[in-house]
Structure 1
């Protein structure tokens, strides 16, 4: 009986350790993914030309835009 209880507790402890490791790995992968997205976005932003837009309303209340 005691052996079965010890086996269950040991299995439960291993499951907790594995869950912690999986959580750490998931956080590490999320961080790497967000860094990669940020670098890609910075590359796209660096290659863009600056665009100035002017937006105004005419006498009828409609929007008029200029690039």
Structure 2
């Protein structure tokens, strides 16, 4: 699908919500999102949910 260009990092994290399907975290410019796996090859991920689990990924030029 389109729109992933706003997410510089995506991480396949395994089964984070313990439903037996692999899930995805996406670190985007505005927030960090969680995508639950659906098990359906036609729509592999459910709608995104904002998560506070991990902060948004800082840009590579950020100074901490």
TM range (shorter): under 0.3
Which protein shows a greater Rg?
Answer: 1
Give the structure with the larger strand fraction: 2
TM, length-normalised to structure 2? 0.22
TM, length-normalised to structure 1? 0.21
Give the structure with the larger helix fraction: 1
